[in-house]
Amino acid sequence: METQSSPQIKRTLGVFSIVLMVVAATAPLTVVAGTQPLVMTYTENNSIPVYYLATGAILLLFSVGFTKMSGHVPNAGAFYSYIQAGLGKTMGLGAATMALLSYVLICIAVLAYLGYATANTIALFAPAIEVPWWVCAIAWWAAIAFLGYRNIDLSSKVLGVFLVLEVLSVTILDVAIIGTGGNEGLSLVPFSPSNFLSGVPGLGLMWAFFGFIGFEATAVFRNEAKDPEKTIPRATYIAVAFIALFYGFSGWCLVMGAGADSALAFAQKTQDAYALELAALYVGQWLYDVFQCLLVTSLFACALALHNVASRYTFTLSRVKVLPACLGEVHKTHFAPSNASMSISIVSFALLAIVTIVGLDPLTVYAWFANTATLGLLVLQMLTSVSVAAFFRRVVHGASIWRTLVAPVVAAACLAFVASVVLSNFADLTGDMTSALVMGSLIPLSYLVGMAIAGRMKKNRPSDFSNLAILVSGQSAA
């Protein structure tokens, strides 16, 4: 129980700081340079911008109900809190454990890929030096553990620097391509319905959604926001709109760089070197080298941002006595959830050690963990939209039916479609059917674990179970 002298988390984050952290979590340069060429390869068309803009539109729909809930649920649990408010404490705890697992898995996935990318970059600039990927991963892990332990302000400043460099480098390439008219002249061919509906458009939406993972973290930083009632909704809309427009415009520029008629063949030929080749062609070798280095810092920024999200989930769950109380303590000097952050660092190190000792390839770790986490987060987004509609059917609110029913229901239907596409392609995404079954089973199992915890709390600690209910507009969640 807190006393007057108990340290409190500092509310230092404004809209801009939260947007920086959320956009950094999506790793803009990694998406533009690494993922967008894959979108063309998998969809067999060049309509990159359509898929990212369509995804942005769906997530803006999701944000309508998501941000409306933020004013009724004064809790930093985001998905968990909102699902609990709409669908009850038992389903809420199921969502909590699934969210925590998803964020931890994607942290490990990005760390593994970060170690791999760093080792490759070292080999590129210093061929005589050979550094194992896991050594690089642990070095970055240590930096993340240090920054995560301290006040969020420090992390936001670090993320801000890397994000500005990422956006600036991509913008330089975009301007160079547009300025020269591209390879075959500028056109709107990628936006043609006959074009973006050809091939396998469902996979285009699926890959585009991967590029937005982490945007929902705006609500997770509620405890550290200066004015959460205004800051969280504004940061959410700005983050989603910026990501969608940046990815959409840059995707169109990538297509124009190779030419509307040649982009698909160029993507199949160059794969993840697509954007780097264009950088060397349109700007110079120096931008190629800059891209190579910033791909590493982009992944680091992503890993740091996701670590902070996982820490805030841990902190929130400890506050309601689901996790040990010590994880809910605020550091007396840093005024941050330092113990929660340290617990995520320990778990991350342990999992990194396990995959290293077992001898798993870092790209395999990334494929297994990242795709499993993405599936979990998609399901959470869908459940959140459903819970918003359910919540506002019970609570007197005075808001429009658009915000409380129509937008959430449409968003839930769209998210369900994307989740079904991920499921139908899960074996290809993880590598084989065995890994798909093993990794995919973690999502429902993690949900069942949370529900089981809720059942045990209800039976053995009824007062704690009762206190899980979040006060919303003077009423308690079911």
DSSP 28: H
Percent of the chain whose predicted confidence (pLDDT) is above 90: 57
What is residue 233's predicted lDDT score, i.e. its pLDDT?
86
**CA-CA distances (angstroms) from residue 465 to 84, 316, 456?**
12, 15, 9
Give 15-476's CATH code, choosing from 1.20.1740.10, 3.90.550.10, 1.10.1040.10, 2.10.109.10.
1.20.1740.10
DSSP 330: P
Alpha helices in 75-125 (DSSP H): 79-87, 89-125
Residues 277 and 44 sit within 8 Å (Cβ to Cβ): no
Assess whether pLDDT exceeds 50 at residue 166: yes
Question: CA 207 to CA 68: how far, in whole Å?
Answer: 27
What's this model's pTM, rounded to 2 decimal places? 0.88
Please name the helix (run of DSSP H) or strand (run of DSSP E) that holds residue 476, with its range, or none: strand 475-476
DSSP 217: G
Higher pLDDT, 221 or 123: 123
Residues 337 and 246 sit within 8 Å (Cβ to Cβ): no
What is residue 202's predicted lDDT score, i.e. its pLDDT?
87
Residue 248 binned pLDDT confidence (cut-offs 50, 70, 90) = very high
Return the domain boundaries, the chain. 15-476
Digit-coded pLDDT (tens) for 169-183: 999 999 999 999 999
Other C-beta atoms closer than 10 Å to the C-beta of 237 total 17
Digit-coded pLDDT (tens) for 276-289: 999 999 999 999 99
Digit-coded pLDDT (tens) for 39-48: 999 899 999 9
Question: CA 155 to CA 228: how far, in whole Å?
Answer: 19
User: Torsion angle of alpha carbons 438, 440, 446, 447, nearest 10°?
Assistant: -140
